[in-house]
Structure formats: C-alpha cells, structure tokens
Structure 1
Amino acid sequence: MKDTAQETINKIYDSLTRAERQLAGVILENYPMSGMGSITRLADKASVSTPTVARMVQKLGYSGFPEFQEALRQEVEARFSNPIAKHESWAQSAPEAHILNRFTDAVMSNIRQTLANIDPSQFDALAGLLADENRALYITGGRITHALSEYLHLHMQVIRARVRHIRSTSNAWPHDLLDICEGDVVLIYDIRRYENSTLRLAEIAKRRGAKIALITDQWQSPISQYADVSLKCRIEAPSAWDSTVSMMLLSETLIAAVQEARWDQTEDRMRALEDMFDQTKIFRKFV
C-alpha cells in the first residue's frame, strides 16, 4: 500500500529545501484539503513559485500536480466512507483466497506499515508522558475505539496513580475536564469517521493546558491539530469495518514500555492489588 502524501512528506522532510519546507508546512496545516485548490493558489498561499510546487509533488512520487490531487481526493473519500461504501469497494476487488487468509494478510500488512511509519522518538515521548505520575492521565476514545481506551485505562490504573477514563460519547464528559490542570495528559483514540464530540473534547482540554496525545489512523484525525504527540496506525481490512489490531499492538507496547519505566512503583501497586484480589476472592485458586 502506497504511503499517503502526508507520510511521505514527514519521511523526506529533512531533505527538502527551505522553500519546499515552507510549502510542506502549508500542505500539512489543513491536510488533505490544503492541496485541493489550483497549483497557483497553493503556491501563493505558501509564498513559493509554481515550479517549486511541481518539483515538490514529483519528490513525493507523483507524476504531476493532477495525480497528486487525485491521490488527495481518494484520501478524502477514504476518510469519510461509511461501512456500506467500504464493503462495496472491497467486494468488487475481493481475491479468491479464503477470508481467514485475506483478513490476516491485511492485518499483518497494517502492522508492518504501522511500525515502519512510527518514529521511535515519538513513541518514547508518548510513553514518557504516560509514565509521568506528576501529570494526571485522562484516556478516551470514540464509538469504536472506546474499547481500546478502556483496555489501556485498566492497565494504566495498575501501573500508576491519577488515571481517569472519559466516556466521550456521554453528555457528562465536560465534567471530567473540570479537574484538568496545565500539563496533564489526555490520550485520545480517534479513527475515521472522526467524531465531533471527541474533537471538541480535545479542543477544550488543550485550552485548559493539557498535553494531547493522539492515536489515530493513516489519514489522521482532525484532533492532530491539537496533538503534542501523534501516532498513526494502519486500519484498512477486507471488511465493512476497519481493523484496530495495529492500534491494539501499539497500546500493548505502550503498556509494556510504561510498566518497564516505572517497575519499582508498579511492582508495589501490583502486590497491593493481588492482595486485594485474595481478600475478595475474585479469582479462583487451584492450590
């Protein structure tokens, strides 16, 4: 699967000229809509020449500006396609192999591409924010990704104190933001179709001084404009629904990284929790 223009820009950014970096900033500012106008309009907005735009899109792997725009249009369509539309698109080109193999191949490809495109320094930065108990940690997700947010919240509660789960689909989520202080962390899962309530939550939390951490898809949630750290996962699969397997892998890796960074404190918390489990007899013991 070909990288998006956004991913390619991020990969080659250090090799760009000053004018090309200026253009890249304009493209990324409101991506992908920023590139949907004419080539002269984009050049004027970036204060560069039209030949600079033409050279830039060729560096991104496109034959010219029209092909670049067509790729952006396809991204816009992919971002907002509903489950029925996604299924119809898949069914038209479905290979003959069994669904078990096709789905697994797609998921494995998602994992490989997700790992290839994640900057380890960004991952480490996010793990560092999650491990910092001086910062309260708020975790939330959307209609589909709330399950991931609950999973991460459950583990983070064991690893460290001051962790809260926000149900973004509830009308009560503004109540959760009342206690946010400057420097606290709000981790948000958001994939297509991006939800207005989650975007508003991020906007308000940012205004209150929170650090916004985003785990999103390859098309990147609008929340990215507020994010201090953003990690993108591939989610396409031969189904009417997207696959969150790569996001789960990333979540479990974050859990492992934070646990390792705080092991001395986490071990004490785990022992205390196990003692409570023994007292309440929640789990059966076969000894």
Structure 2
Amino acid sequence: MGKKPLVKDQIREKQDELTAAERRLTATLLDDSLVAGLQSITKLAESAEVSTPTIIRLARKLGYQGFPDLQDAIREEIAAQMKEPLAKLETAELSAGKDHIISRFAEAVSRNINRSLERLDLDEFDKAAALLSDLNRRLYLLGGRITRSNAHYFFNHLQIIRPGVTQLDFSPSVWPQSLLDMDENSTLIVFDIRRYEKELERLAKLVVDHGANIVLFTDQWGSPIERYATFCFRSMVEVPSSWDSTLAINFLIEALVAEIQSRSDSTDRIAALEDMIGESRIFRSN
C-alpha cells in the first residue's frame, strides 16, 4: 500500500472541485502551513469565515471520514515537518553500531535522490530550464540560513553561462533595492527548507506583486512560498543527522546547469572568461 499523499498536495489537487467557501477554507489552512487545522472545528470556522458543515464537506472531499480524521492527518504532517533536530539526533544514536555512519549516510542520500527523482515532473523541469535560459530575463538568487550555499553554488554557474544574474544579499534590509528593478522580465530563484523563513515568504509575495516570477527549491513538505512559485522542485532532505541534507537539491541544480548550458550559446562567453583569467595578473598568485 502506497504512502498517503500530503494534506497540502491533496488540497491543491482538489482546488478545481471546491466551492468558493471551501477554497476560502483551504486558503486559511495553507496560509500557515496547516497549523490553523489544529484548532477546534468552531475556531477554524470562525478564522476562515465559513460554516462547520463546510469544514466537514472539505474533509470528505479530501478522502477523510470527517474533520477529526483530517485533523489527525494534519497533526502527523506537522509533526514530521517540525521534528526537532535533537529528536533526529537521538534516532541516529539508537542505530549507532549497526553500520558505519558513512554507509548509513550514503544510503540515506541515495534514497533521497531517488525519491526526489520519482516525484520530479520532467515537463516542469524543461520549462524551468527554458525560463532560466532566456537572456531577456534577469535572474536573482537567494537562499535561507541553511540553503545559502546552494544559492551561491547555482549563482556561480549561472553567471558564467549567461549575463543578467544577481545573488541577493542575505540581509533583508537591502532587498528593497533589488525589488526596485524586478518586473515581469525577472525571476527569483529561492531556496527554502523546513524552519521556513518568514522573511523569504514576505519577499516572495513582494516579488510576485512586482510582476516577477519565482522558481522554488524546497523540501518534501513544501515551503509556504509554493503558493507564489511558477515552478517548484521538492527534494527529500532527511538523513541520519541533526541536520537536513541538501545533496538532492544540489543534484537538481547541477542537472539544471547542464540543461541551461545546452540551451545557451555560452561557448564564447566561457572562452572570454578563461582568457581574462589567463591574461590578468590580478587573478594570479605571486
């Protein structure tokens, strides 16, 4: 028997079948990563400005027997998403001695990559690559506290392949300057995994309000930024460690780099860069 889909995904898949009141209810649920669903049915109805029968109907449309059944699923999903690093570390320690950490870590990373690929929509991948290859678009990149290195890695490759690529400063105080230049010909590539950062979510909304679009890299549960993203790539991140692994995300980055380069006439640009590095004494050590 396959694993039951995430509540978030079930809600998004059913959007076209929902009434206006039910869509208002799902917007409330998705607005804070389903946390609103942990309230009593009366409180949730008040928050979403719907009736309690609307909540029951939505639960049944999503395949649950009623609101308590839906609430149990929400509770399990949030518990998995927000699992404390200490709890993860304790789980790893319980299995210590069975296998070496290298073997267990390699197995987990391999499983993460394979499961991420199983979920990958190849058509979405191709469309995102085409978007990021469009030289008429300006690209901006930004990562969170853990994913800054992923954003920087992608930025380093993109700026060699094509012009018009900017890595945003990590300080929110300077983001408005970049927002000034964003419009319908701009794309923000953003990385956000669990412990989702509210500052990134606020930026995402402002970016979309300016007419730009978003390519999001996130974990298997899905950042709240998904609601603003044109393209979203979810990757598995759990490993036997107190930290999440972003190796599956980097796998997708490198695949995108290869595809973007194949779509771009970057040979002369790369050759010119090599000439500059070779000829300029600034880049040589004494």
Alignment correspondent of 1:268: 268
1:111 positional shift:
0.7
CA RMSD of aligned residues (A): 3.4
Return the offset for 1:68.
4.5
1:27 deviates by: 4.5
- Offset, 1:99: 1.1
Q: Identity over the aligned pairs, expressed in percent?
A: 35
Aligned length: 276
Residue 116 of structure 2 corresponds to which residue in structure 1?
A: 114
Instruction: State yes or no: 1:247 paired with 2:253.
Output: no
- The one-letter code of the counterpart of 2:277 is F
d(CA) in 1 for partners of 2:143 and 2:7? 24
| 2:275 alignment partner AA | D
Counterpart amino acid of 1:53?
A
What does residue 5 of structure 1 align with?
6
- 1:70-101 Cα shifts (integer Å, max 9, x gaps): 33213223333443243234445668222111
Q: 1: distance between equivalents of 2:18 and 2:184?
A: 36
Taking the aligned partners of 1:46 and 1:159, their CA distance within structure 2 comes to 54
Structure 2: gaps spanning 5 or more residues: none
Residue matched to 2:63 = 57
2:105 aligns to what? 103
Matched-pair contact (CA < 8 Å) for 1:168–1:198:
no
Q: Aligned residue for 2:191?
A: 189
Give the aligned residue type for 1:275: D
Name structure 1 gaps, 5 residues minimum.
Answer: none
Give the aligned partner of residue 228 of structure 2: 226
Equivalence map 1:1-287=2 (5 Å): 2=3, 4-6=5-7, 9=10, 13=13, 18=17, 27=26, 30=30, 31-33=33-35, 35-36=37-38, 50=56, 53-54=59-60, 56-57=62-63, 66=68, 68-92=70-94, 96-169=98-171, 171-262=173-264, 265-280=265-280, 282=283
Q: Distance in 1 between matches of 2:175 and 2:284?
A: 33
CA distance in structure 1 between the aligned counterparts of 2:170 and 2:134, rounded to whole angstroms: 23
1:194 Cα deviation after fit: 1.0
1:208-231, CA deviations, whole angstroms, 9 ceiling, x for partnerless residues?
Answer: 111111111111111112111111
TM (normalized to structure 2)? 0.81
Alpha carbons of 1:47 and 1:118: their partners in 2 closer, same or farther (altered >3 Å)?
Answer: farther
